[in-house]
Structure 1
Amino acid sequence: MPASLKNFADLKNLGQQLKQQEEFRQKEDAERTKREHQAKLEANIFRNSVGEVAPLKTAAKHTAPVVRPQPIPFQHIADERAALQESLSDEFDASSLLDTDDGLSYTRAGVGIDVAKKLRTGHWTIQAQLDLHGMRRDQARDSLGEFLRRCLRNEHRCVRIIHGKGLGSVNKEPVLKNKVKNWLIQKDEVLAFSQATAPDGGSGALIVLLKSS
């Protein structure tokens, strides 16, 4: 075959190869474009189905408050107890202030003389009472002070203090009975007291009249 014809055949084959390559490239581009278009359609379908998307609102975290126990005023209690012990002296002698009657009654200065008589005869209704039986001296003194403060808060005017007759004490002496009288005279809120009537305890108790709060 002449050289010119051979070159023409090679050129024709090259042209066909280039044409095939171009067709293949166009086919790939068309497939890629089709896939991208399909992907966009699917994305739009999902987006249209779901609608507008907003982040979920998260409620603020609730923290339960810590319940703390109420503080106990130990120092205040100790101070009150110390003040009470200082204000009620065991060395105080009330014998000179007691009326020399069977009830050994007492009325504070300025209180009518008929008050002691009314106490002895049970004129007023007893509104509260404190039983000091079996207590040691310090315990009885503290209990008496606390009882009187409570009576004032509750507006109790006529109360009974049971101190016992001293039958269970050493030598059968009414030690606590005498201490209670001494303590009561030292308290400003006590206006008067007298030995209780027999039905209210007799010589083992005192009827006490307190001032108004």
Structure 2
Amino acid sequence: MTTKEERLSFLEEMKDVRRIKKPNRADVKTPKELTPGHLERQRSAIAKPLIDRNPLTSDMVEPLKAHDVLDWMRPGVQHGVFRKLRLGQYPIEARLDLHRMTVEEARREVFTFIGDCVRYGLRSVIILHGKGERNPDGIAQLKSYLAKWLPELDDVLAFHSAQKHHGGTGAVYVMVRKSERDKQHNRELHGSR
């Protein structure tokens, strides 16, 4: 409880205090005129269109059906190695699921995924693309694009549709090239040049 003396003392201390007339808010209006920095950034953005470093094609591709088998290997891959890949005998070190992605989203994801596989030394991976069985035209769109994209990536050595227990023709095993670091490590380990 405050006493009369305390109240009078408080009022005496507060006698010179005046109410703030302007609201106590920051002025957040955007400036009407553009600064030289704004103008330079605008000119630069218009002059240099964004460079897409992703080599994967976004053009039309040959349409594939749900049960078409994906099957490809780069020259130099040993047949025994490809056979083990085809049979799903390599451990799956990473997985990418493209279900419910647009073609453009899948294009970015596949490019990034394969690059990450090389960077982290992952050699045998799987990409789930789906069969497209629910599509009215029966075309497996992502599968069709993936069949075109994977050979366009130098880091992909081979790929084959997965075994039934890994998704069958709705998934693909991918063999990824060794990174330069891993190649150098093998050279040091085994003494070859």
TM bin (shorter chain) = 0.5 to 0.7
Q: Matched residues in 1 for 2:87 and 2:112: separation?
A: 27
Matches within 5 A, 1:134-213: 134-213=100-179
Q: Matched residues in 1 for 2:153 and 2:110: separation?
A: 10
- Percentage of matched positions with identical amino acids: 36
Q: CA shift at 1:92, angstroms?
A: 7.7
Equivalent residue number for residue 129 of structure 1: 95
Q: Tell which deviates more after alignment, 178-187 or 116-125.
A: 116-125
> Do the aligned partners of 2:58 and 2:104 also contact (CA within 8 Å) in 1?
no
Does residue 83 (structure 1) correspond to residue 49 (structure 2)? The answer is: no
Q: CA shift at 1:197, angstroms?
A: 0.3
Q: For 1:112-139, what per-residue CA distance to the aligned partner results, in whole angstroms no more than 9, with x for missing partners?
A: 1223211121121000010000111111
Q: CA shift at 1:94, angstroms?
A: 8.0
Q: Which amino acid aligns with 1:168?
A: R
Does residue 105 (structure 1) correspond to residue 67 (structure 2)? The answer is: no
> Computing the radius of gyration over CA atoms, which structure comes out larger, 1 or 2?
1
Q: Matched residues in 2 for 1:149 and 1:128: separation?
A: 12
> Do the aligned partners of 2:70 and 2:172 also contact (CA within 8 Å) in 1?
no
Q: CA shift at 1:93, angstroms?
A: 5.9
Q: Which has the higher helix share?
A: 1
Q: TM-score, normalised by structure 1?
A: 0.55
Matches within 5 A, 1:13-52: none
Q: Which amino acid aligns with 1:152?
A: V
From the superposition, tell whether residues 123 and 92 of structure 1 become closer, same or farther in structure 2 (CA, over 3 Å): farther
How big is the alpha-carbon RMSD for the aligned residues of Structure 1 and Structure 2?
2.2
From the superposition, tell whether residues 132 and 120 of structure 1 become closer, same or farther in structure 2 (CA, over 3 Å): same
Q: Which amino acid aligns with 1:188?
A: D
Q: Matched residues in 2 for 1:168 and 1:120: separation?
A: 26
Q: Which amino acid aligns with 1:182?
A: K
Q: TM-score, normalised by structure 2?
A: 0.60
Q: For 1:78-122, what per-residue CA distance to the aligned partner results, in whole angstroms no more than 9, with x for missing partners?
A: 64xx110xx111348689xxxxxx744111011112232111211
Q: For 1:10-46, what per-residue CA distance to the aligned partner results, in whole angstroms no more than 9, with x for missing partners?
A: xxxxxxxxxxxxxxxxxxxxxxxxxxxxxxxxxxxxx
Structure 1 runs of 4+ aligned residues shifted over 3 Å read 90-95
Structure 2: gaps (5+ residues): 1-44, 180-193
